[in-house]
Amino acid sequence: MTFVEYLNEQLRVALSLRPGPTVVYGQNVATGSCLSGLTRGMDTIPGCTTINTSNAENTLVGMGFGLMLRGVDALLCLKQQDFLLLGIDQLVNTWNALRHRDVRAAFAVITIVVDNGWEGPQSCLNNLDDFCSLSRIPGHVINTRHEADAVIHNTVFTSGVKIIALPQRLWRSPMPDLGSLPPPTTPGIQHYRQGDAATVVTFNFALSQGLGVADAFARRGQTASLFSVTDVLCRNWDAIIADVQKTKRLIVLDDSKSINRSSDALLLAAKIAVPEATITPIRRAPFTEERSSPNSDSLTVDAEALVEATGKDML
Amino acid sequence: MSHVPPQPTVPDLPTALAVLRVRLAQIFINELYKAGRFRIPIHLALGHEAIAVAVAQTLDDHDILVLPHRNLHYALARGAGLAGVIDEFLLRDTGLAHGNLGAMNLADPARGLVYTSSILGNNLGVATGLALGGTICGDSGLTCVVTGDGAMEEGAFYEALGILCGKHIPLLLIVENNGWSLASTIAERRGPIDLDAFAKAMGAGYCYLNGADVFHCRTTLQAARNHALADRRPIIVEVGLTTLGHWRQPQTGYPNGKYINYHAGPAAHVSISPWPCLGDTTDDPIAALTTHFPEPLLHHEAMELFAHLQKEVPS
């Protein structure tokens, strides 16, 4: 099953379990490709109203808050994350006025991160951190089946507002399945592997690169711990810090294009808590003038070189 | 909508007293404001009392109201006590919203004031969602949203109407047109907008009413409400009114100073008086009451209201 097929299936399962009315809305959610398959079939779920809307993102985000206030669960699906820029006033200001209300319904915004590199300077936004920082709304990413299950079944339809980001890079790939895992000890942090040579922590959609680094350690007969931080506003680093205290080496991979990255909080916390640790942050190349045209933009990691470069603190 | 003549209703004294109460309450608030008692910005609505009382009387228990930053008149007209409002403006726990919202976001869900935004145009999207949610839930009530001739310049006005008309969602959209946005007249900031023609182009209904006469407002609003529900579409109600409490800015070419409309802050030239008339029958809802009732009767009733409200004002 592909990444999008799995998401679609689980979203439909979650929608069919909703006890009250739910609205799935956005441009083309129930026509054409249904957002490349993401929202396909939702118009047949009892109790679920699907609405193909006009191109009016400010109002679409505002509508979600209004539906939530009415007690109706709302799921706004946007084909590109940059569309959400037009709704930022609603995310920031409306939520600031409502965040202390006792809201019972859910409002989730799902955005697809289209940053394969060839979209040009305006359509390649990959900045969930910034939306969450401005709005103080929880943000969640999905890289694997585990993360999909956790976000879709434990988060999307809980009361309140949240933003979900999905990577188009994985859209047609098989849904990554990293086997059976114990439940996460910290909400928003998936712990995929245990090891003692290094602590590899991935943010945003960098899990595939993190797996590459962990595999590079394995090829040298070493083991690395591997964590994926899926909640943007996560600030409970206890489990990761405990691991770094053991490995004394932290590698942080973050493919966000933000300058205001949530991974910075972990780097700071680790530097303070484990000053003797070697810390290596790997981030996206800066968005310079040369890179503002269509190009093969991605977070590139030379895993072998990274594993070899031991003992050098790059922070 | 304008082709249907509104049915006249008999002017009644309780409605006149409601208008007087909203005015007098604001006069008391203005006195405290002038004395420097409030730290928050307050937008008085002197001159807007008739439309607020008419809205309060037109909406039924299932209807909800969504307001902009100038909202005091609606809160008072819907029955909020003066003491609760003053305490809210003083940010006290005993305030209408426990001191959490202040003036520009003053909401009172218990009285149907579900959401209020200080951001121009922001409340239109939320109102669209509330109205949609009401439709989905089978609620018989109507959503009424208030905006102004400044906020209607925002793109959200066009966006919201497009969705409301396209999805056949009933709603009352009241445009309080005082001709000013802060200290700029319409002519100073844009070309004229023919709201009647605009409404037709969008598929919405439209009516214009003189905001000085509460009985005219009520009659027209009742008809508009019925049309919105019967036709399953939004009705734009443009209300021509004057925000009283102007001041004059010294400026070359203006021997008496340039007329600047009241926007916010204390109305320095408005004084406390049991007969709080500030204009004439064309622009002041209090003066307009004298076209329906004998002035001595209104003076007598105003005196009693004044004494009653005075007890609610902190020393």
| pLDDT value at A313 more than 70 | no
- Residue B269 contacts residue B245 (beta carbons within 8 Å): yes
Structural contact between residues A7 and A142, judged by C-beta atoms closer than 8 angstroms: yes
Residue-level pLDDT at A120: 84
Read off the pLDDT of residues B92-103 as tens digits, 9 standing for 90 and up: 999 999 999 999
* Rounded CA separation B89/A219 (Å): 67
The reported pLDDT for the residue numbered A298 is 87
The nearest CA of chain A is from the CA of B229 a distance in Å of 18
Residue A213, pLDDT above cutoff 50 = yes
* Nearest CB to B105 within list A64, A66, A97: A97
pLDDT given at position B305: 97
Chain A CB contacts of B163 under 8 Å are 53-54, 56, 59, 63
User: A237-254: per-residue pLDDT in tens?
Assistant: 999 999 999 999 999 999
Q: What is the pLDDT of residue A36?
A: 95
Q: Which two three-digit tokens encode residue A180?
A: 């059976």
- What tens-digit pLDDT sequence spans chain B (315 residues)? 444 445 557 999 999 999 999 999 999 999 999 999 999 999 999 999 999 999 999 999 999 999 999 999 999 999 999 999 999 999 999 999 999 999 999 999 999 999 999 999 999 999 999 999 999 999 989 999 999 999 999 999 999 999 999 999 999 999 999 999 998 999 999 999 999 999 999 999 999 999 999 999 999 999 999 999 999 999 999 999 999 999 998 999 999 999 999 999 999 999 999 999 999 999 999 999 999 999 999 999 999 999 999 999 987
Per-residue model confidence as pLDDT tens digits over A81-111 = 999 999 999 999 999 999 989 999 999 999 9
Structure tokens at B5: 């003549």
- Do A56 and B162 lie within an 8 Å CB cutoff? yes
Residue A81 · residue A128 · CB < 8 Å: yes
* DSSP element (H, E) containing B127: helix B122-136
Strands B247-251, B254-260: pairing kind = antiparallel
Number of Cβ atoms within 10 Å of the Cβ of B112: 21
Q: What percent of chain A has pLDDT over 90?
A: 85
CA angle A8, A231, A63 (to 5 degrees): 60
Q: Which of A54, A56, A100 sits opposite B100 (nearest CB)?
A: A100
Which of B94, B87, B31 minimizes the C-alpha distance to B306? B31
In chain A, residues with a C-beta closer than 8 Å to the C-beta of B132 are: 23, 51, 63, 66-67, 72
Residue to substitute from A18, A57, A70, A109, interface B, most B β-carbons within 10 A: A70
CA distances from B201 to B124, B204, B236 (A): 19, 8, 12
What is the rounded distance in angstroms from the CA atom of residue B242 to the CA atom of residue B185? Answer: 12
Is A65's CB within 8 Å of B126's CB?
yes
B132, A66: Cβ pair inside 8 Å?
Answer: yes
- B174 within 8 A of B145, measured Cβ to Cβ: yes
Separation of alpha carbons B119 and A93, rounded Å: 8
The pLDDT of residue B1 is: 46
Among residues B186, B171, B178, the alpha carbon closest in space to that of B236 is found at B171
| Contact call for B137 and A71, based on CB within 8 A | yes
Q: What is the pLDDT of residues B51-87, one digit of tens each?
A: 999 999 999 999 999 999 999 999 999 999 999 999 9
Closest-CA residue of B relative to A63 is B129
Question: Which residue of chain B is at minimal alpha-carbon distance from A89?
Answer: B122
Q: Give the residue numbers in B contacting A (CB under 8 Å), as ranges.
A: 100-101, 105, 107, 114-119, 121-134, 136-137, 139, 155-156, 159-160, 162-163, 166-167
Q: Count CA within 13 A, CB hemisphere, residue A214.
A: 25
